[in-house]
Copies of this chain bind each other. A is one copy, B any other.
């Protein structure tokens, strides 16, 4: 049995001082560093495998402080506060700088909690969509970025522009011009867990590129995931497709935001996710 590339990317070796050592993933490499989703997942892994963890993730915020270089990194996760049913985490990923001193490349906070059954309701039904099998898969060029090969994507609305001629993209039927919607899963398929869901939440290409049909340099600055799913629902979701959508609210002087939602095929909302992204011009 071969190890799934995602599991290989999540290996964090515990150290005597309580930190853990990981290694940047070639399989999830982006243009000039790892795919942001894999860094978010690694920060969450540091919490998930911590011996003092209480409960399951409710919230994760990851700040991309600086580029992660190819090679090893150190993950430090500490419970800043443990309550009866919730726990608050501060996480830092660091790599040595040119002088060998540790430099922070990622900061993060997370909340884990022991969930209990309560009154529950959705206020965002899954939008109507054709079945995954009826939506053609996109095949990004293999030399574009390794991480793109790690996800099966079947775009429904707002695909990557075919022409980059600066034409403004406006939404139909009152939708956001920056809205994309797609079917999505790991490739090869893999049973869903919290860390994989955190990685999937960063899968959307830059909303600016869609809205503006212009490729300018971008980089996520901060990303948040609110987990609505518990472990049982993730298990029920298994290797199935997720319906994923995202749109921006505003693009302003170097930064735009993005709000996304991911449902499983049964129509259960698994998480909402938000990020703010730097863009160059």
* Interfacial residues, chain A to chain B (CB-CB below 8 A): 58-59, 61, 63, 65-66, 80-81, 83, 86, 88, 90, 92, 103-105, 107-109, 111, 113, 115-124, 176-178, 207, 211-212, 214, 221-222, 224, 226, 228-230, 247-255, 257, 259, 261, 269, 272, 274, 276, 278-281
Contact = CB atoms under 8 A, between A and B. Distances in A.
Given A66-B83, A118-B281, A226-B274, 10 more contacts: A59-B222, A65-B88, A109-B222, A119-B214, A119-B251, A123-B249, A123-B251, A250-B269, A272-B274, A274-B274
A74 to B, nearest CB: 14
Chain copies in complex: 2
Contact of A58 (B178, B247, B249, B276): B276
B120 A59 contact: no
Contacts of A88: 63, 65, 104, 107
A103 B117 CA distance: 30
A115 B83 contact: no
Contacts of A123: 176-178, 207, 211, 247-251
A229 to B, nearest CB: 8
A252 B115 CA distance: 9
Given A88-B65, A248-B123, A117 B253 contact: yes
A222 B61 contact: yes
A61 B58 contact: no
A122 B272 CA distance: 21
A278 B61 CA distance: 17
Contacts of A120: 250-253
B226 A257 contact: yes
A127 to B, nearest CB: 11
A17 B221 CA distance: 29
16 contacts: A58-B221, A88-B107, A108-B109, A113-B278, A117-B253, A118-B280, A119-B212, A120-B251, A121-B211, A121-B212, A121-B250, A123-B250, A123-B251, A228-B257, A259-B259, A259-B272
Nearest to A176: B123
A76 to B, nearest CB: 12
Contact of A276 (B221, B226, B261): B226
A22 B115 CA distance: 33
A264 to B, nearest CB: 13
A104 B262 CA distance: 33
A115 B80 contact: no
